[in-house]
Structure 1
């Protein structure tokens, strides 16, 4: 599809017209389109897997497990519950308003602009798209240019399911096309997944029209182990989450905090799990993902400077592959502890007490996720109470994303807003608060003049 300004103007105009004419309101049509999307994805899943492998050597099993199956499950869950989500929701009414009743009415927002990243390009395109379509919006989707094959497949699938005026995919270099879109067109909702830098830029552009914005960003997500948790079990779950997609996952463990006296034992447990899950020949493996491009490869390699390598460290630039690497970090001011790693490098940090633990986490405040491997219930509660983060797990990593009933989102620098399941439907809906009063209802108490006795009675009603 052409991404010239004139073509985009015509497309946006057609989408606005389609929405304003009420063509997205019909609930049966929304479900029909979502079902067709599910069927079309299933028909194209082998081609999607081939595209992911071509883009950055992503294994077929990983593509199915982390992108295609979750999208299919989200669609099925949405179709099953959409009628309940959409119907007016009754809420309680205070005494002063009786016999009125109170309801929340959901309506679509209008034209939604979705920006998807490269690391899980299909999943992070489809998940918000499903919610936006379910809520009755028209959608313009811009997938990542760094994964051209997946983006082309996404465009193909969308074109087979939706009229262009309902959902369209536009392809092009992110910064240039994003600037054209946000400088020249007004969107009712802008949904962005990506970096802090671009997220701030999106917010600045959105302010021009006061568009609603949802940002899904990232952060340094820690895993924390206490004095008593089984280290082999913790290592298996942490390393699994770290080697999926070669660590290019916003919710994977960025670093691990381990009691000082358990660091050596935990390191050995991690080494065993790396060999079990990846093997000792990652460069020739078809089951291990590569780094997306040379720029990000070079950045990851540079993060090893100043670190003590405990395991791994080998890399091959010609194929953009870095083996799973464990490092010890003593200086928290090193670049590796100042920015999200987003790769298969795992710092292991020692701590002595919960105060030191909290201080380390707060050097990179507001993680997107946090994982606790703990037997100590008081330490669990301390972390829950004192650390601000978006989502997480007890005794696992990444699994929270598989439950559509758990909203996914960050806090402050790791994101604003959330989605998935019912929360996603609400995110892309305008929720209208409506008081329904009988036409005969007219309370004389509310009208002037306001005597002291009348105000006393009104206050009593307000307080009960």
Structure 2
């Protein structure tokens, strides 16, 4: 196996090859070379060049893998570039020692409280298929900015993109700094046997549990970016045109294969029929009467997923769409109305362009029902009623979301991104990403000539006076 490539040998050879990559990165980390400002800036610059020098090839690979339209292709380059710029521009501030307040009594004795942020070490980043560049590189960029060498594992279900990673990463990075391993389940299993210092996984909850169990063997910290069935509320006061436009795009971008896509919509009875007509019109306006011919509508990642998503379509509830073509990996943008909580599409994350629409008359009932479900990665509400918005945001636990928009919170680097409960753990983006990929080392620093008297024997000492500096 070449540096950054896939093993073509047996399991033993593959494991040995991965161990070699890991050991080289571990040795580099233990040498302290990755902790310097210069190393971090150099890695960010290399990442930037790798993206920009081959921008057209990256976009072509995305289109080849599952027909990503031009806007979604460029998005996968633009967002990582923005994150590189953020870390480059703010690295000195992020790396700086942080002075923190300590009890006044200790401060009077000349003590200082200081926080240092240090890298964890060799970091494994496992990426998903739906945004195979962005969701692999954004965590890697945060890890490199924080001083961690990285092993990248792109999704095997996007073979063209994975092959480009395998080709280009060794050209731009030293293997002890950044390496890439391609492959599927066997390769991931072999990687997870290694004692990584940190693991960052983006994907399904089922695989997230596997990653977490493996990490527990080495007490390795993890960030898990998973998913869920994301609720969207449209109340009686909402701007229905705005809601329809945002939901039509948010649900159907990447052919619905977006972990923060609206998973279902609950609409107030008084506006439900009108909203559905506006939503139908918005979908047609965006993708035409035959979305299979639209250059802006992606394909499903596999025939298996096409069959799975198509199985959620209940013909008697279809008010738009409903067709599918397994061999073409195509599911038409489909609206199911009126849906109910027992429908097949309501039992799990659809991860495809089939959208159930439910009616409600009492938001309390909706909120109580949502509280009984797994905590989602995202949630959205469309309303002009501030009290309603506050009630929704205060009552429900979810990773993040928008008010009177969908999806766009994940484009804002200053908003920490991540899930909660079943939808994941840990946040990243911007400063949150740097902090998440850093060990926060807390220090109490005393002048050499001064001390804090806490030492025995205690018989002749005033215990209260000894404890006073810590009060």
TM over 0.5: yes
User: Alpha-carbon deviation of 1:460?
Assistant: 5.3
Q: In structure 2, which of residues 60, 77, 80 is the aligned counterpart of residue 50 of structure 1?
A: 60
Q: Is 2:240 the partner of 1:231?
A: yes
Q: Is 2:375 the partner of 1:396?
A: no
Q: Is 2:175 the partner of 1:164?
A: yes
What is the rounded CA distance, in whole Å, between the counterparts of 2:104 and 2:459 in structure 1? 19
What is the rounded CA distance, in whole Å, between the counterparts of 1:214 and 1:459 in structure 2? 39
| Structure 2 unmatched ranges of 5 or more | 8-13
User: Alpha-carbon deviation of 1:313?
Assistant: 0.9
Q: Is 2:303 the partner of 1:294?
A: yes
Counterpart for residue 113 of structure 2: 102
1:34-78 deviations in Å (ceiling 9; x for gaps): 12211221121111111111111111221112x111111111111
Higher mean alpha-carbon deviation, 302-311 vs 14-23, is at 302-311
Kindly indicate whether the alpha-carbon contact (under 8 Å) linking 1:105 and 1:431 is maintained by their aligned counterparts in 2: yes
Higher mean alpha-carbon deviation, 200-209 vs 89-98, is at 89-98
Counterpart for residue 178 of structure 1: 188
Q: Is 2:23 the partner of 1:19?
A: no
What RMSD in Å do the two structures reach over aligned CA positions? Answer: 1.7
1:135-284 counterparts in 2 under 5 A? 135-173=146-184, 175-183=185-193, 185-284=194-293
Where has structure 1 moved over 6 Å in runs of 4 or more?
Answer: none
1:167-226 deviations in Å (ceiling 9; x for gaps): 1000111x211111112x110111111111111111111111111111000011111122
The normalised TM-score by structure 2 is: 0.94
Counterpart for residue 64 of structure 1: 74
Q: In structure 1, which of residues 118, 127, 130 is the aligned counterpart of residue 138 of structure 2?
A: 127
What is the rounded CA distance, in whole Å, between the counterparts of 1:208 and 1:202 in structure 2? 10
User: Alpha-carbon deviation of 1:23?
Assistant: 2.0
What is the rounded CA distance, in whole Å, between the counterparts of 1:461 and 1:40 in structure 2? 54
| Structure 1 unmatched ranges of 5 or more | none
What is the rounded CA distance, in whole Å, between the counterparts of 2:307 and 2:369 in structure 1? 26
Kindly indicate whether the alpha-carbon contact (under 8 Å) linking 2:314 and 2:336 is maintained by their aligned counterparts in 1: no
Q: Is 2:44 the partner of 1:40?
A: no
The normalised TM-score by structure 1 is: 0.95
What is the rounded CA distance, in whole Å, between the counterparts of 2:316 and 2:407 in structure 1? 26
Change (3 A) 1:369 1:307: farther
User: Alpha-carbon deviation of 1:157?
Assistant: 3.1
What is the rounded CA distance, in whole Å, between the counterparts of 2:267 and 2:132 in structure 1? 33
What is the rounded CA distance, in whole Å, between the counterparts of 2:412 and 2:256 in structure 1? 21
Kindly indicate whether the alpha-carbon contact (under 8 Å) linking 1:309 and 1:328 is maintained by their aligned counterparts in 2: yes
Question: How many residues get paired?
Answer: 459
1:299-345 deviations in Å (ceiling 9; x for gaps): 00101137611211122222111121111254412321110011111
Kindly indicate whether the alpha-carbon contact (under 8 Å) linking 1:143 and 1:151 is maintained by their aligned counterparts in 2: yes
